[in-house]
Structure 1
Amino acid sequence: MNTALWIAAGLLALVALTGGLTKSFVPKAKLATIHGAEWTTGFGANAIRTLGALELLAATGLVLPKALGVAPVMVPVTAACWIALMLGAMVTHGRLGQYKLVAVNVIYLAVALFIAVGRF
């Protein structure tokens, strides 16, 4: 079970890292042209960068606390926060009719739920 939790956390951390880097460093105008990121047209650049920063924090919070043995309770807390982020993403993509992306968000939410329950 511990191995499955590590794999899940690592994969979700990679997703968070990718999204965080993209939202933090790709200009808003370019993001809006990427499939799945059309939602950025309705948000300010600072809001997008804030989401990017939160995703970068999630990437570290899903792995480092347990790996370093420092405040390992932060892993399930981070996973719970990721669940909240995915709920918001599902609403946003749903409003745009991007139901395939909603399904992807449901998968990410399920992985985060697995991590949160498994690590608490």
Structure 2
Amino acid sequence: MNVALWIAQGLLAAVFLMTGMMKLVKGKDGLKTDPKMLWVNDVPESRVRVAGVTATLGAIGLILPWALDIVPVLTPLAAIGLVAQMALAMQLHMKRNETQTVVMNAMFAALALFVAFGRLSDLG
């Protein structure tokens, strides 16, 4: 189970770090040119930045606390935060009728839930 959790954490951390940093570095104007990121036209710049910050912090929280054994409860909390972020993303993409993106967000949310419950049970 530990190996499966680490694989899930690594995958999620890679995805959320990449997408979070992209939102922070490019901002709303930079993302408008990407055909997969047209949702930014429906939200203010601040929401794009907040999504970038929370995704980046969530990615860090999935790995470092557990790996370094420093306040390891932060790892399942980070996973729960990413589930919440994916729920909000699904809501936005449902309004835009972007079914493929909703399914992808649901898969990431399910994987993050797996990490949250797995690591919470490891804490005992």
Please give the range of the TM-score, normalised by the shorter of the 2 chains.
over 0.9
Between Structure 1 and Structure 2, the one with more helix by share is 2
**What amino acid is aligned across from residue 20 of structure 2 in structure 1?**
G
Task: Tell me how far apart the structure 2 counterparts of residues 59 and 43 of structure 1 sit (CA, whole Å).
Answer: 23
Aligned length: 120
Unaligned runs of 5+ in 2: none
Could you tell me the TM-score, scaled by structure 1's length?
A: 0.95
User: Percent of counterpart pairs with the same letter?
Assistant: 39
The Cα shift of 1:37 comes to 1.3
Q: Which aligned segments of 4 or more residues in structure 1 are displaced greater than 3 angstroms? A: none
CA offset digits 1:70-110 (Å, max 9, x no partner):
01111111111111100000011111111000000011011
* In the alignment, structure 1 residue 5 sits paired with structure 2 residue 5: yes
Q: For residues 2-40 of structure 1, give each alpha carbon's deviation from its aligned partner in whole angstroms, at most 9, with x where no partner exists.
A: 011011001000011011111001142231221331111
Q: Compute the TM-score of the two structures, normalised by the length of structure 2.
A: 0.92
User: Is the 8 Å Cα contact of residues 27 and 48 (structure 2) preserved in structure 1?
Assistant: no
| Matching residue's letter, 1:21 | M
The CA distance in 2 between the partners of 1:27 and 1:75, in whole Å, is 27
Structure 1 gap segments, 5+ residues each? none
**Residue 37 of structure 1 aligns to a residue in which SS?**
helix
Q: Distance in 2 between matches of 1:35 and 1:111?
A: 26
Decide whether the 8 Å contact of 1:20 with 1:53 is kept in 2: yes
